Chain A
Amino acid sequence: MTIRLLLADDHLLFRRGLRGLLEDMPETEVVGEAENGHEAVLLAQRLQPDCILLDIHMPVLDGCGAVALLRQGGYRGGIIILTVSQADEDLVCAIRAGADAYLLKNVTPEDLLKTIQAVLSEQAVLSPEMMRTAFNALRQNAAQGWGGLSEREWQILRAIQRGQTTAEIAAALFISTNTVKTHVRHIFEKLGVSDRRTAVTKAERLGILPPKG
């Protein structure tokens, strides 16, 4: 029985080539192609592939968002991230969202096939180049708890995520609006961002905040 695959990548040439390669392998069959994460989620619901190969950086909905939606929707098949990104936040985000493997696109066709077979045997796989990043991310997470935020800062960021205004947060926490603003400034500094929306997005990607339900 062949392994039914869904491919999601906005790089047309790469996607076409990947399809050609996988269709030449007797072990695999490509049942669908998507050019963004949103399409991938819709196609996965319809086609129920055994395994999905997803890029991280895609328009409309990125790979992390797609993985999260797929898992929340009950998809139990294998999910392999296939990307050029070596960014720690992409790796952490993908793993937290529920990806089974994180491979760089410099992988060989043989190793890609082994990875597909491995994730369908409930194994997790990381590109060797990403091992150091994974270890560093784990260490950082253990050392910093809430990404270096204090408990009060985390509470305020959570309130921002819920859409509360500065005045509402101040009232809920029995502190002044100026104190809230000071905490928000510290949050921005620690996360390396300059606005509330980006702070929430980055905190979600890093797993500091749970995804907004």
Chain B
Amino acid sequence: MTATGRKYRILLISPNPLFRDGLLAWYGPQWAGRAEVVGVFSRLDEGLAALADTAPDMVILDYDDDECRRADLLQRFIQEERQAMKVVLLSLQQPDHVIVYDRRRLSASKLETWLDAPWKNFPNGQENL
């Protein structure tokens, strides 16, 4: 659930049906009531095309697709004007870690405070972007 009380919106992109359906099977019950899967795609280009319509808060991308160009997604992520979109990059070939991009927006005053000690956590009141 987001701060505004609406359900958290998740978009899932994976070329592997076992992984895709498996994630939904495992997390679906845990997310029930608080989050909703607003789109499931096997191809990156289809998932990117659906970004505007689905307005996800988080994109989970399995980048094992040979045709998947992460640069495309990251470009879209950087350009995206909407607030609050996290991107989780994962691969079946990398069992050890996932990469999470969590973009944030700070007001100018908060930025100044944060830059005084950027190794500390973000100040309270920051907005996800």
Contact at B22–A14, with CB atoms within 8 Å?
yes
Chain-A contact segment, one of B78-86, B90-98, B110-118: B90-98
Residue interface mask A107-139, B partner, CB < 8 A = 1 = 111001000000000000000000000000000
Residue interface mask A171-210, B partner, CB < 8 A = 1 = 0000000000000000000000000000000000000000
Specify which of B25, B64, B98 is in contact with A21 (CB 8 Å cutoff): B25
- Chain A residue nearest to B60 in the complex (CB): A13
Range, interface on chain B: 10 to 19
Judged by DSSP, the binding face of B is helix
- Chain B residue nearest to A11 in the complex (CB): B95
Contact at A11–B18, with CB atoms within 8 Å?
no
Total chain A interface residues with beta-carbon distance under 8 A: 21
Contact at B26–A20, with CB atoms within 8 Å?
yes
Say whether, besides A19-B26, A20-B26, A24-B25, A107 and B18 are in contact (CB < 8 Å): yes
Per the 8 Å Cβ criterion, residues 8-28 of B in contact with A are 15-19, 21-28
Say whether, besides A84-B64, A106-B17, A109-B17, A11 and B22 are in contact (CB < 8 Å): no
Please, how many angstroms separate the alpha-carbon atoms of A14 and B22 in the complex?
7
Residue interface mask A1-41, B partner, CB < 8 A = 1 = 00000000111111011111101100000000000000000
Contact at A18–B64, with CB atoms within 8 Å?
no
Contact at A17–B18, with CB atoms within 8 Å?
yes
Contact at B18–A16, with CB atoms within 8 Å?
no
Specify which of A12, A17, A23 is in contact with B19 (CB 8 Å cutoff): A17
Closest chain B CB from A102 CB (angstroms) = 15
Q: For the complex, is A105 an interface residue (Cβ under 8 Å from B)?
A: yes
Closest chain A CB from B37 CB (angstroms) = 13
What 10 pairs across the A-B complex have the smallest Cβ distances?
Answer: A17-B22, A20-B26, A20-B25, A11-B95, A21-B22, A21-B25, A17-B23, A10-B95, A108-B17, A16-B26
Which A residues are closer than 8 A to B by beta carbons? 9-14, 16-21, 23-24, 84, 105-109, 112
Which B residues are closer than 8 A to A by beta carbons? 15-19, 21-28, 64, 90, 92-93, 95, 98
